[in-house]
Structure 1
Amino acid sequence: MTGATPKVQGKRKSKVGRVVSDRMDKTIVVSVERLARHRLYKRVIRLSTKFKAHDETNDARIGDTVVIEEARPLSATKRWRLVSVVQRAGEHGLPGEAVVAEEAETSEAIHAAAHPGRVQASAPDGQAPDADAMTAGPNAASGEGPPGAAR
């Protein structure tokens, strides 16, 4: 009796990462982040690894979140292939306007909490304040300069 058992193929590993380069033809570089505990200091640190992946249709762009899957060696350094694009980045790999607005709002809230007595230095019409008004100081309206300044 020949105990021939069929070979069972293992499941291929897949990873989710962000495209950091798409300059090569049919190849993308994907950065995959993971958390690991430092052996000596026991602190959780963020590590990132870059993988070159095959993108047959040149579909992925910088900033896109993608799923890559293990494949046979396709070149000297390429052993992964693009499965799907999970989330598109904004135009030219930049975050969308909603994300930028949300980050600005969060930044202003943090600034206000850190400096409770300070007023945000911005003009009411949305224009940037002029440099003279920002550096003049509290005595600018009375015509006096900073203490010790020669006139």
Structure 2
Amino acid sequence: MRRKKGVITSAKMTGTVTVTVHRHAFHPIYKKRFRKSKKFLADAKGIDDLIEGDTVVITECRPISKLKKFKVTEVLGRVPRVSDIKEEEGIEEAIHGEKKEETEEGEETKETEDSSKLANEPVSDKSSVSSVSSDSSDSSEK
């Protein structure tokens, strides 16, 4: 019986998981080690609560279907579940409360900046601008 250690990459099928097994190979010409990986479908009917990222041991067995020839025999490591992670009380309120205050202040500062820009801009006469440009064009012709 062959045993392989791998990581679950998909647990979307009922009673079946996809396990990726990595191994190292040595290239004969380049004398370098490189990693090869292969995916196996494994039967997981006896073990509940398997998700992507869990490290498992699969063992070869009789063919269960066309592609399933392994069973999950042991769970070596589990990825933290969302239900296991506990958030501290008040974090969500503090985060969202700060964002609301910042946006309100930001809108107020934008309005005051726009009004101050309008107040500080000098009123320009189009006639004075055109007369200046015509004077400069006359001097360039001479």
In the other structure, the counterpart of 2:40 is 51
Task: Tell me the alpha carbon deviations over residues 93-135 of structure 1, each in whole angstroms, 9 at most, x when there is no partner.
Answer: xxx9xxxxxxxxxxxxxxxxxxxxxxxxxxxxxxxxxxxxxxx
- Cα deviation for residue 20 of structure 1 reads 0.2
Which structure has the larger Rg over C-alpha atoms? 2
* TM-score with structure 2 setting the length: 0.54
Where structure 2 has 5 or more consecutive residues not aligned to the other structure, the ranges are 86-142
- Cα deviation for residue 90 of structure 1 reads 1.8
Is the 1:25–1:58 Cα contact (8 Å) retained in structure 2? Answer: no
In the other structure, the counterpart of 2:57 is 67
Q: Secondary structure at the match of 1:72?
A: coil
Any residues of structure 2 matched to 1:87-98 within 5 Å, and which?
A: 87-91=77-81
* Structure 2 residue 8 is the aligned partner of structure 1 residue 19: yes
In the other structure, the counterpart of 1:108 is none
In the other structure, the counterpart of 1:134 is none
Which is richer in helix? 2
Any residues of structure 2 matched to 1:1-151 within 5 Å, and which?
A: 12-57=1-46, 59=48, 60-91=50-81
- Cα deviation for residue 42 of structure 1 reads 1.4
- Cα deviation for residue 40 of structure 1 reads 2.1
* Segments of 4+ moved more than 3 angstroms: none
Is the 1:51–1:78 Cα contact (8 Å) retained in structure 2? Answer: yes
> What's the RMSD between the two structures over aligned residues?
1.5
Where structure 1 has 5 or more consecutive residues not aligned to the other structure, the ranges are 1-11, 97-151
- Cα deviation for residue 58 of structure 1 reads 5.2
In the other structure, the counterpart of 2:100 is none
Task: Tell me the alpha carbon deviations over residues 53-99 of structure 1, each in whole angstroms, 9 at most, x when there is no partner.
Answer: 0001452211000010001000010000000111101226xxx9xxx
* TM-score with structure 1 setting the length: 0.51
